[in-house]
């Protein structure tokens, strides 16, 4: 059996991510899902700025770089014009839950028929690891050097609590820290794209991802940190899985 990366992922120029970053895995499983669904020729990706934008060099799909926090809004514009295409937004937790939370939520309220994939690494990565809405209580970041203090800045945001009551097609969280979790995460991503192809509406997957650089951990330690700390706060699983409308 020959096992190789999807042809629509180019690694010829390498990639721009830090050692041990989860983006590479996210890019790969999204590419595999789209290939298996045979929708690569119709796919249009809308990526956020910062770390997500580095995927621009890897995915060989028609793509748009949106403003920070606005990929979901921009993907909505694309999909409304090109209803037969598979359109997805790829953004980070800072984009999805901080600056772009209105765009993330209102596209869900309207149940726009797009797929949104949010990489949650608990920090603003590209800018040097500042606190994000997903930073764990007590977690040290470059803007919470003493650790996140819930008394001052509140607790991390849970997408399933915010979006769980909305009439959307799909909502799941996966983790990119072990073979078993990556396989499960890929099944969520694939299912999300299938919901879009079936015209079911908004499908959303959050992917817990390691950020060794900004966590101050070795790559292997960062994977363990997800098991030991992150998954206790952010459980994986499917929260909404509408089968029919």
Partner 1 sequence: MNEEILMKGNEALAEAAIRAGCNFYVGYPITPQNEILEYMCWRMEQAGGEFIQSESELAAVNILLGAAAAGARGMISSSGPGFSLFQEGISYLVAGDIPAVIVDVARYGSGIGEISQGQSDYKLVTCGNGHGDSQLIVLTPASVQETADLTALAFELAEKYRHPVIILSDAAIGQMMEPVVLPEETHVDIDRDEWTVKGCRSEDKPRLITNLFYYIDDYDSFLRSKYEAMRENEQRWESVCVEDAEVVIVAYGISSRISREAVREARAMGIRLGMIRLITAFPFPEKAFEQIGGCCKALVTVEMSAIGQLADDVRLAVKCSRPVYSVCTGIRVPESGEILDKVKSILCKQTEEARI
Binding site for partner 1 (CB under 8 A): 7-8, 40-44, 46, 56, 59-67, 70, 73-82, 85, 102-103, 105-106, 110
CB 113 → partner 1: shortest distance, Å? 12
Nearer residue to partner 1 within complex by CB, 76 or 200: 76
- Provide the minimum distance between the beta carbon of 15 and partner 1 in the complex, in angstroms, as a whole number: 16
Q: If you write DSSP's letter for every residue of the chain in order, what string do you get?
A: ------TTB--TT---PPTT-SHHHHHHHHHHHHHHTT-GGGEEEEE-SGGGGGGGGTB-SEEEEPPTT-HHHHHHHHHHH-TTSEEEEEEEHHIIIIITHHHHHHHHHTT-S-EEEEEE-SEETTTTSEE-TTPPTT--BTTBTT---HHHH-PPP-HHHHHTTS--SEEEEEE-SSHHHHHHHHHHHHHHHHHHHTT---EEEEEE---HHHHT--HHHHHHHIIIIIHHHS--EEEEE----
Which is closer to partner 1, CB of 46 or CB of 223? 46
Nearer to partner 1, 28 or 79 (CB): 79
| Smallest distance from partner 1 to CB 71, Å | 8
Shorter beta-carbon distance to partner 1: residue 93 or 112: 112
In angstroms, what is the minimal distance from the CB of 103 to partner 1? 5
Whole-number minimum distance, CB 10 to partner 1, in Å? 9
Q: Nearer to partner 1 by C-beta: 81 or 220?
A: 81
């Amino acid at each position: 059996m020959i096992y190789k990366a999807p042809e629509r992922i180019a690694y010829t120029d390498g990639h721009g991510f830090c050692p041990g970053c989860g983006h590479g895995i996210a890019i790969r499983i999204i590419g595999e899902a789209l290939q298996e669904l045979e929708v690569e020729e119709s796919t249009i990706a809308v990526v956020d700025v910062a770390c997500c934008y580095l995927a621009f060099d890897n995915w060989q799909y028609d793509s748009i770089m949106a403003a920070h926090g606005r990929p979901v809004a921009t993907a909505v514009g694309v999909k409304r014009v090109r209803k037969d295409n598979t359109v997805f937004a790829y953004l980070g937790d800072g984009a999805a839950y901080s600056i772009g939370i209105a765009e993330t939520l209102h596209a869900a309220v309207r149940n726009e028929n797009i797929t949104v994939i949010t990489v949650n690494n608990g920090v603003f990565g590209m800018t040097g690891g500042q606190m994000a809405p997903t930073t764990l209580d007590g977690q040290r970041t470059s803007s919470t050097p003493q650790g996140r203090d819930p008394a001052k800045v509140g607790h991390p945001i849970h997408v399933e609590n915010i979006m769980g009551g909305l009439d959307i097609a799909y909502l799941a969280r996966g983790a990119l820290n072990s073979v078993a979790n990556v396989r499960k995460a890929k099944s969520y991503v694939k299912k999300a794209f299938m919901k879009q192809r079936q015209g079911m509406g908004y499908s959303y997957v959050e992917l817990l991802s390691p950020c060794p650089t900004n966590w101050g951990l070795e790559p292997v330690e960062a994977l363990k940190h997800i098991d030991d700390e992150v998954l206790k706060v952010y459980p994986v699983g499917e929260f909404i899985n509408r089968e029919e409308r």
